[in-house]
Amino acid sequence: MTNSPMKKRDWQELSNLHLTAEQEYFFSQTVIDSIHGSFYMLDADGKLVRWNAFLRDEISGKPEQQMAGTNVLDFFHPDDRLLITEKIKKILTQGSEEHVEVRALIHGGPEVCWRLITGRRITIQGVPFVIGLGMDISQRKKAEQALSRSEDRFKKLFEHHAAIKVLIDPETGNIIDANHSAADFYGWSIEELKRMNIQQINIIPSEIISNNFEKIRSTRQNRFIFSHHRSDGSVRDVEVFSNKIDVEGKEILYAIIHDITERKRYESFITFRIRLLELAETNSVKQLLKLTIEEVERMTDSSIGFFHLVDEDQNTISMQTWSTGPITAIHKTTRRGARFQPKEKEIWTESLRDQRAIIYHDGGEFICKGVTQPTDTKITQALIVPVIRRNRVLAVIGVGNKAGNYDQDDIKIVESLVDIAWDIVARKRSELTEQNTREALIQSQKMELIGQLAGGIAHDFNNMLGVIIGNVEMAMEGQAIHEPLIQNFKNILKATERSADLTRQLLAFARKQPLMPIVLNLNTMIERMLTMLRVLIGENISMIWLPDSHNTMIKVDPSQVDQILVNLCINSRDAIAGNGEITIKTAIISVDKVECSTLSPCKVPGEYVTLSVADNGCGIEKEHLLHIFEPFYTTKTEGNGTGLGLSTVYGLVKQNNGYIDFKSEPNIGTTFTIYLPRHRGYTDNDDSDQDDPSIPYGKETILLVEDEPDILHLSQRMLEEKGYMVLSTTSPREAIRLADKHDGGIDLLLTDVVMPEMNGSELSNTLQATIPHLKTIFMSGYTTDVFLPYSELYERINFIQKPFSFKSLLRTVHNILNKDDV
C-alpha cells in the first residue's frame, strides 16, 4: 500500500466528512504503512492480525494474501523463538510493555538482521491483542561486537572512534578518560571531563549509580538507559554499554554511550501515530491536526502553534488550525480557512520562497498576518517549517515563543511530526559527502603533479650539484693551491651543500625520497634549515631560535624533520596578519609513568627531545580544535590551504613513535610541541670523513654505470686516482657486454638507479646471474617508482645519495668492498 501527498482539497473534504469503516481502515493502514520499521498486531496465539508494508516486504517477503494468520515466530531465528514466546505471554498475562533484541530472518533466511522489538497489550471489544514495533539495531550490535577487538587497536579506536566512549573508576565514579566524540557530545573538553565524576553528568541518584557499577562488575548487566547533562544545560537520553577491563592490574569500566534521544523521539512519534490511529475512528481531520499542533508544541517547548495550507499558486495560504493555549486568544478574529498572501517581511514568506525551514530568534517582533496579536501575546521568535511534496509546498506549520532558541533539533521534531520525508536530509548529506570526496580527489591529484614536477627537477639538479662538488674537491686535491683559492673552493662547497639541502627538502615535500632513518642532532638539522625558513615566512615575521644546550639526538629520516618543521612554520606564518614572531625551540624532557597517565601527552615513559614552534598569530577557534589533524580540513579561504599540513605532521610524528601536543588561544597564538624519543649515541653522518687523514687505496675492479656523462667521468677519475680499475659506460646494456668480455673478475657494480634501458636493480640482478658474488652500490638523488618495487630489500642494499662528495664515495666503496658478506 503506497502513500500519496494530500492536496488542498483533500484536507478540506476530509474535514467535512465522517469516514466510513472502510475509509477509516484505509486511513489507519496508510498511517501504519508510513512507519519506517516493522509494525505488527498479534492475537493470543501469536498469529498476525495486522501488519505494515515494511514487515511484509522487507522481513517476510510473503505476498499480502499469505500474511494473515502467519505465526510471528516464523520471522525469527530458531534460537530466539522461546524468548519471544515468553515475552508475548508476559504481555498478555501481565499487561506489561516489553522489548527484546532478536534476530529476524530476511525473507525466511539464512540472512538475518538484529531487531529491537517492542510490544504492549491492547484490548478491542474484550479481546486482547499484542501490538508493537520492530527497529533495525544491526549497526548497534556490530558496535557492541567491536569491543572484543585486540588491545593494540584499543587506543586508536577509543580516541578517534565516532562513538562516545569514557573510562570510569568503579570505586569512585571518577572519569579516567574520554574520547573526542565524548567531548563533542557533552560540550566539555577531554581535560574537563577527566576532572569530573559521572554523578555530575548522570541525573539519577548516586546510590543507583553505585548499584549499577556493581551489576557491571558482577557481569549481571551491561546495558543501561540514562539521562545525561551536557555543558549547555541540555539533557540527552543515552544508552550505555559498559564492560569491565583490566588496565595495569586495575579494574576499569569501559563505557560506550549512544545518544538515543532521536530514537526515543522516534518511539514517541510511533506512539503518537498509534494514538492518532486509535483516535481516527472517532475524530475528524481537524481534531487530528489540532492534536498534532499540540504535540509539536509539547516536544519543542513552544507556547503557540499553527497550521496553514498553501494554494497551488504557492503564494496564498489559509489558516487551518491552531493550538488551544494562549494562541486561542490571538485567533478570535481569524476564521478557519481565511486566505491571504504573505508580504515580504512576514514570517511565512522566506520559508515559502526558499522551500526550507526558517528560524527567527533575534529578539524582535515579527509580522504574522493571519495571527492577530493582542498586546499580551507577542511572537518574539518562531520556527516555520514547510510541508513539501514533489517540489511543491503544500502546507506550513509554525511554532513560537520557546523559552530558549530554536535549533536544528526542533526542525527535525517538527518535520517528523508532520511526516516530512527523511530521505531529503539523507540525500543532502549524501551530496555533501560526494562533494567532499571529489574535492579530496582533486587535491590529491594536484599533490601528485607537484610531486612529479619536484622529482624531475631534483633528478637533474642533483646531478649538476654532483659535478660541481666533484670538480671542486678534485681541484682542492691539487698540490699548488693557494690559501685564498682554497677558501673560495670551501665557499663553493658550502653553497652546494645548501643547494643539496634545498633539493632534499623539495623531495621531502613531494614525498619522493626513500625513508632512511639515521641518528642525527636535531639542533644541527634545524640550524641548516633556518635560512630557508626565514625566506619562507617572509621579512615581516621575525624568527627566534632557542636550541637546547644538551645532546638532542634522535633517529629519524632527515626529510621528515624538514617536512615537520616546514609545515609547522607555514601554519604559523599563515596565522600571523602583518608583523609577528615565530619561536623555534628544542628541549630534553624525561617522562615517568605517572606523567604518562596524567600530565604528558606521551604514553610511553622515557627521555624525549621536544621541538616546539610557537607564534603570536590569530590562534585556533574552539570549534576547530578537534579537527585540525584531519586530512583536507582547513579554515583558510579556497585556494590558500590544502588541509594537509598538520595531518602530515601528525602522521610523521606517529610514524617515528612520537607524540604531538598543542595549545592555542584565539587572538593570542598557538604552540605546537613535538615529542620524539631521544637517542643516545653518535650521529650517522659522514662528518667523520673530514677528520680522516687519508682513505686507503684500492686495487679492485669496479664496473661504473651512469647515464650522465659528467658524473660518469668525474666518478671514474676519483676512483682511478685511488688505485681502482674502472670499467665505465653510460648504458646498462653496454655494461652487460663489458662484463662478459672482461677477462678478470669484477668486484663491485657502482650504478645509477634511474636509467633509460633498465633500472639499476634490474642491471644488478642480471649481472649477479653470472657473477654471483658481485657487490652493488646504488647511486641516486631521486628514486621514483622505478626503485620502489624493490623497497622490501632496502634494509640490505647499499645506497649512496646524490650529490655525494669525493670522500663519501671513496669511503662507501672501500667499506662495501671490505665488508664481509652475511
Is residue 222 in a domain? yes
Same domain, residue pair 618 and 734: no
Mean pLDDT, residues 344-350 taken together? 67
Q: Name the band, by pLDDT with cuts 50, 70 and 90, for residue 425.
A: very low
Query: Which pLDDT score, from 0 to 100, does residue 688 have?
Result: 44
595 vs 265, more confident = 265
Pairing state of beta strands 553-556 and 518-521? antiparallel
Lowest mean pLDDT among 23-32, 73-82, 91-100: 23-32
Instruction: Decide which of 627, 661, 685 is a domain's last residue.
Output: 685
The three-class DSSP label of residue 661 is: strand
Edge to edge, what strands does the sheet with 339-340 contain? 339-340, 317-322, 304-310, 392-400, 382-389, 358-360
Alpha-carbon dihedral 89, 94, 99, 100, rounded to 10 degrees: -30
Per-residue cell: 119: 510490544
- Which pLDDT belongs to residue 370? 46
Domain containing residue 96: CATH number: 3.30.450.20
Residue 162 confidence class, pLDDT cut points 50, 70, 90:
confident
Q: Is residue 208 domain-resident?
A: yes
- Cβ–Cβ under 8 Å, residues 299 and 288: no
**592 or 365, which is more confident:** 592
Domain match, 179 and 125 both: no
The per-residue pLDDT for 131 is: 92
> Domain range holding 226?
142-260
Does the structure show a pLDDT above 90 at 542?
Answer: yes
For residue 711, the number of C-alpha atoms closer than 13 Å in the C-beta half-sphere is 25
pLDDT at 794: 46
Query: Given a cut of 90, is residue 315 above it in pLDDT?
Result: no
* The total number of structural domains that make up the chain: 5
Which domain CATH number covers 770? 3.40.50.2300
Residue 275 has pLDDT above 50, yes or no: yes
Same domain, 705 and 810: yes
Distance CA 798, CA 778 (A): 6
**Same-domain status, 659 and 607:** yes
If asked whether residues 590 and 611 sit together in one domain, one would say yes
Please give the mean pLDDT across all residues of the chain: 78
Compute the distance between CA of residue 816 and CA of residue 775 in angstroms, rounded to an integer: 8
Taking only the tens place, the pLDDT of each residue in 738-761 is 999 988 889 999 998 888 888 888
Identify each DSSP E strand in 230-270 by its residue range.
235-247, 250-259
Model pLDDT, residue 435: 58
- The last residue of one of the domains, among 421, 436, 453, is 421
Q: Could you give the CA distance from residue 172 to residue 817 in angstroms, rounded to a whole number?
A: 67
Convert the pLDDT of each residue in 660-714 to its tens digit: 888 888 888 999 999 999 987 655 554 444 445 566 788 899 999 998 898 898 8
- Give the residue, 89 or 518, on which the prediction is more confident: 89
Least confident of 36-50, 193-207, 406-420, 581-595: 406-420
**Is residue 767 over pLDDT 90?**
yes
Does residue 660 sit in the same domain as residue 697? no
Are 131 and 164 found together in one domain?
Answer: no
Distance CA 611, CA 526 (A): 10
Q: How confident is the model at residue 526 (pLDDT cuts 50, 70, 90)?
A: very high
Q: Is 304 exposed, middle or buried (0-12, 13-18, 19+ CB in 10 A)?
A: buried
Looking at the structure, do residues 373 and 303 belong to the same domain, yes or no?
A: yes
Angle between the N-to-C axes of helices 408-417 and 261-279, in degrees from 0 to 180, rounded to the nearest 10: 30
Please indicate whether residue 150 or residue 142 has the higher confidence score (pLDDT). 142
Label residue 331 by pLDDT band (50, 70, 90): very low
Q: Is residue 316 domain-resident?
A: yes
Of 183-197, 321-335, 369-383, minimum mean pLDDT range: 321-335
Q: Are residues 664 and 694 in the same domain?
A: no
Q: Which residue has the cell 593570542?
A: 668
- Residue 765 placed within a domain: yes
Give yes or no: residues 567 and 678 share one domain: yes
- Structure confidence at residue 422 (pLDDT): 34
**Of the residues 136, 152, 174, the one at which a domain ends:** 136
If DSSP codes are grouped into helix, strand and coil, which group holds residue 553? Answer: strand
Most confident of 273-287, 413-427, 658-672, 784-798: 658-672
Question: pLDDT higher for 194 or 153?
Answer: 194
Range from 42-51, 228-237, 533-542, 794-803 carrying the lowest mean pLDDT: 794-803
The pLDDT, as a whole number, for residue 207 is: 75
Determine whether 555 is exposed, middle or buried from the number of CB atoms within 10 Å of its CB (0-12, 13-18, 19+): middle
DSSP letter (8 states) at residue 643: S
The three-class DSSP label of residue 681 is coil
User: Would residue 483 count as lying in a domain?
Assistant: no
The pLDDT value recorded for residue 3 is: 46
Residues 654 and 543 in one domain: yes
Concatenated DSSP letters for 480-517?
A: S--HHHHHHHHHHHHHHHHHHHHHHHHHHHHT-S----
pLDDT of residue 369: 47
pLDDT tens, residue by residue, 205-223 = 777 777 777 776 666 667 8
Task: List, for residues 585-618, the tens digit of each pLDDT value.
Answer: 999 988 876 666 566 777 788 899 999 999 999 8
* Same domain (yes/no): 253, 383: no
**DSSP-derived secondary structure for 154-171:** HHHHHHH-SSEEEEE-TT
Question: Length of the chain in residues, anyone?
Answer: 822
